[in-house]
Amino acid sequence: MRKPIIAGNWKLHKTISESCELATQLVADLSDIDDIDVVIAPVFTALSAVAETLKGSSIQLAAQNCFPETSGAFTGEVSPDFLQDAGCNYVIVGHSERRQLLNETDAFINQKLLKVITTGLKPILCIGETLQQRQNDQMQEVLRTQLKGGLGNLSAAQMAPMVIAYEPVWAIGTGKTATNDQAQEAHRFIRNLLQQIYNSEIAAQTRIIYGGSVKPDNVAGLMQQEDIDGALVGGASLKVADFSRIVRFEK
Nearest to 166 by CA among 229, 209, 120, 106: 209
- Find the DSSP H helices in 30-76: 47-54
Nearest to 57 by CA among 82, 104, 25: 25
**Are the CB atoms for 80 and 115 separated by under 8 Å?**
yes
The dihedral through the CA atoms of 149, 173, 64, 31 has a sign that is negative
Catalytic pick among 97, 129, 167, 187: 167
Question: Is 95 a known active-site residue?
Answer: yes
Q: What is the DSSP string of 73-97?
A: S-TT---HHHHHHTT-SEEEES-HH
Q: Terminus-to-terminus CA distance in the chain, angstroms? A: 16
**Are the CB atoms for 104 and 94 separated by under 8 Å?**
yes
Catalytic pick among 21, 95, 97, 250: 95
User: Which residues have a Cβ under 8 Å from the Cβ of 17 and sit 6 or more positions away?
Assistant: none
Question: Is 167 a known active-site residue?
Answer: yes
* Other C-beta atoms lying within 10 Å of the C-beta of residue 197: 17
Q: What is the DSSP string of 183-249?
A: HHHHHHHHHHHHHHHS-HHHHHHSEEEEESS--TTTHHHHHTSTT--EEEESGGGGSHHHHHHHHT-
The dihedral through the CA atoms of 171, 175, 179, 184 has a sign that is positive
**Any idea which residues carry the catalytic annotation?**
95, 167
